[in-house]
A = this chain, B = another copy of it.
Amino acid sequence: MAPSTETLTAERILEATEEVLRRHGPAKATVVDVARALGVSHGSVYRHFRTKAALREAVTKRWLDRTAEGLAAFASGPGDPEARLRDWLRSLFDAKRRKAGDDPELFATYRVLAAESAEAVAAHIADLIGQLTRIVEEGVGTGTFAVPDPAAAARAVFQASGRFHDPGYARVWTRPEAQADFASLVDLLVRGLRG
């Protein structure tokens, strides 16, 4: 790739790394590839990221943050908490299924990256459960829901719906019964929250 006159920033390195990962996959994407894509020596990349692992983790964080952003709208939007909970869960399921279906290789790549960055994933999950907690708390406030511990209930809802957002289950998302299974699960969980 042609060298650039622009300043070398962490941001530019992250973009180039995403591109290299998309092209070569997680196993063959090297720091040298990233440097080549930017037209610099690999030593320069190490000036911005201490290790290859740190670079990959930064890419993973960006990706997880983008995912969480798309859901925040449902978490704090207006409207009935029960409907918002349903929308939030459906939106999460749809987004995951779309990503896994549209570009399986890229999805697999991010699966590998996520497995490497347990800490970033834990933070992301805490973020999502936080969004759910706000919905459940509001539902308790309006009387829609009746649970003793909204945070624990939100956690349970997130874990119970794992089959429809945990990447480990990606292969079942396209099965014909997935849609009905998802509907049954959401109904059961919502009834549980109503108390």
Whether the Cβ atoms of A195 and B191 lie closer than 8 Å is yes
**CB 8 Å contact bits of A123-153 with B (1 = contact, 0 = none):** 0000000000000000000000001010011
Main secondary structure of the interface of A (DSSP, over half): helix
A149–B191 Cα gap in the complex (Å)?
A: 14
Which of B155, B168, B185, B193 interacts with A159 by CB under 8 Å? B185
Q: Report A62 CB to chain B, min CB distance, Å.
A: 25
State whether the Cβ of A73 lies closer than 8 Å to any Cβ in chain B. Answer: no
Whether the Cβ atoms of A156 and B168 lie closer than 8 Å is no
**CB 8 Å contact bits of A153-179 with B (1 = contact, 0 = none):** 101110111110000100000000000
Q: Report A192 CB to chain B, min CB distance, Å.
A: 3
Which of B162, B163, B168, B189 interacts with A188 by CB under 8 Å? B189
Q: A168-B168, A185-B159, A185-B160 are in contact. Are A180 and B192 (CB under 8 A)?
A: no
**Chain B contacts of A156 at CB under 8 A?**
181, 184-185, 187-188
Q: Report A143 CB to chain B, min CB distance, Å.
A: 16
Whether the Cβ atoms of A189 and B168 lie closer than 8 Å is no
List residues of A whose CB falls within 8 A of some B CB: 147, 149, 152-153, 155-157, 159-163, 168, 180-181, 184-185, 187-193, 195
Since A149-B184, A159-B185, A191-B195 are in contact, a sample of 9 more A-B pairs with Cβ atoms closer than 8 Å, ordered by chain A residue number, is A156-B187, A156-B188, A157-B188, A160-B160, A160-B163, A160-B188, A162-B162, A188-B192, A188-B193
